[in-house]
Amino acid sequence: MFPPRASVLFVLVGWILFAQVSHRLAAEDKVPDWPQFRGPGGQGRSTDTGLPERWTATKNIAWTADLSGVGSSSPIVVGQRVYLTCDLGYGVPGEPGNMEQLVRRVVCLWVKDGTVLWQVDVEPKLPEHGWTREGHGYSSSTLASDGNWLYAFFGKSGVYAFDELGRRKWRSEVGSKTDDWGSATSPVLFGNLVIVNASVESEALVALDKKSGKLVWRLRGIKESWNTPILVDVEEGKQELVLAIRGSVLGFNPETGEQLWRCGTDIGWYMVPSLVAQDGVVYCIGGRSGGGLAVRAGGRGDVTESHRLWTIDKGSNVSSPVLHDGYLYWMHESRGVAYCVEAKSGKVVYEQRVDGADQVYASAVAGDGKLYYVTRSGQTFVLASKPEFELLARNDVRDRNYFNASPAIAGGQLFLRSDRTLYCIGQRRRVTE
């Protein structure tokens, strides 16, 4: 484990670098934010145009940044900065280490060229689970930002808030349990709340005050749930907080944590894929045997009969879907099959095997008429986002590491993260001095 002096040194060096480039950041064109897991609203969609279609390890790459640790959390982009988390010292493939050396790290990079502006270490609360399955590691949760502060979730080690210079503002615990699959849900921001699905840590949904970290509400009974909640617009300008657990999709009042409704899914398995929603309708897939459904939000009590619109026997156990122009798209996590389903009816439009696709744990993202599916081996299959199968490109940047993170889209570029490397794909940004 890095001693306290080393952690302080990392922060001081970061502040110096930040001061050196801050005047240039102000002059550069503003980058549309991708501030949380799967971007705005957690939907995996971008309005950017001119997104890259083809690249290799050396072509159409704006920059790469070697990370100081490993991880599967997704990058986020806020203003001129890219943020992500990583871990080191223990559980790193090929590097035995011991648990006492485990360090978790929050990293801030400059969006123009990948320069590390600062990085801050977080000492874990031990003991952690001895080894996470399939190399998921100890930094799987994606950060969330409100444009000022940054919020990180590190499982039993707690929820943290940092300012834009990496100074810790508070830390709060949300449970002490662990799981051999690790912890992977990401924070969601609502008003003055940071909401965390702590199913692994305490079988609870927890809301903390953004400025103090103090507990605002806690709801128990959240079992076998690895998905990040989403906020869904309903009538009268209100929002509901929705997530999936084994056998059910649940809707809550995000202000109080009150459970408003429940819809049965007929999926008898733990739930990993995050939900998507549009026009008050929530779409869910999940389970090893596959399954999916649509349910209208805004109900009360058990709405399985009254608000469930359709079900199908297709799904994915890991990767989340994306909703675009009335169609749901996703790729099965192990079969390499791409799906397109009509959102209003649940009709399967296509179910197409993609030659060469292996495991897909990253969730799909969409923008500029394209769908991006990233395999664990580092291939990205680019499909046309239309209800007709069309493979536009197959790109490969394999670097002998796993690609578990979902991509981020910002400023016409794609940010792709492997265990150890961050790739910025697309044209280099122009800076006006």
Tens of pLDDT, residues 224-236: 999 999 999 998 8
CATH number of the domain enclosing 177 = 2.130.10.10
Query: Does residue 388 contact residue 425 with C-beta atoms inside 8 Å?
Result: no
pLDDT digits (tens, 9 = 90+) for 258-273: 999 999 999 999 999 9
Q: Residue 411 falls within a domain, yes or no? A: yes
Report the side by side order of strands in the sheet with 204-209.
188-190, 193-198, 204-209, 215-220
Q: Residue 433 falls within a domain, yes or no? A: no
Count of all residues that appear for the chain in the document: 433
Question: Whose CA is closest to 231, among 204, 287, 191, 183?
Answer: 191
Tokens of 253: 């009042």
pLDDT (0 to 100) of residue 208: 98
CA angle 157/230/340 to nearest 5° reads: 120
Question: Whose CA is closest to 263, among 240, 238, 279?
Answer: 240
| Residue keyed to tokens 């536009």 | 392
CA angle 87/91/92 to nearest 5° reads: 70
Q: Residue 260 falls within a domain, yes or no? A: yes
Query: Could you check whether the bond before residue 96 is cis, i.e. omega within 30 degrees of 0?
Result: no
Tokens of 226: 């690895």
Q: Residue 291's Cα: distance from chain center in Å?
A: 21
pLDDT (0 to 100) of residue 12: 46
pLDDT (0 to 100) of residue 3: 47
Query: Does residue 269 contact residue 211 with C-beta atoms inside 8 Å?
Result: no
pLDDT (0 to 100) of residue 134: 63
- Residue 56 CA to residue 430 CA, distance in Å, equals 22
Number of compact structural domains in the chain:
1
pLDDT (0 to 100) of residue 30: 56
Which residues share a beta bridge with 292? 285, 312
Q: Residue 310 falls within a domain, yes or no? A: yes
- Residue 387 CA to residue 246 CA, distance in Å, equals 30
pLDDT (0 to 100) of residue 182: 82
pLDDT (0 to 100) of residue 92: 86
- Residue 319 CA to residue 373 CA, distance in Å, equals 10
Query: Does residue 158 contact residue 126 with C-beta atoms inside 8 Å?
Result: no
**What range defines the domain where residue 196 resides?**
4-425
Helix (H/G/I), strand (E/B), else coil: 237:
helix
Query: Does residue 265 contact residue 298 with C-beta atoms inside 8 Å?
Result: no
| Residue keyed to tokens 């615990």 | 173
Q: Residue 431 falls within a domain, yes or no? A: no
Q: Residue 337 falls within a domain, yes or no? A: yes
Question: Whose CA is closest to 32, among 367, 257, 315?
Answer: 367
Ranges of residues in the chain whose predicted pLDDT is under 70 = 1-32, 131-135, 429-433
Q: Residue 249 falls within a domain, yes or no? A: yes
SS3 content of the chain, % helix, strand, coil (to 5): 10, 40, 50
Helix (H/G/I), strand (E/B), else coil: 24:
helix
pLDDT (0 to 100) of residue 180: 81
Q: Residue 432 falls within a domain, yes or no? A: no
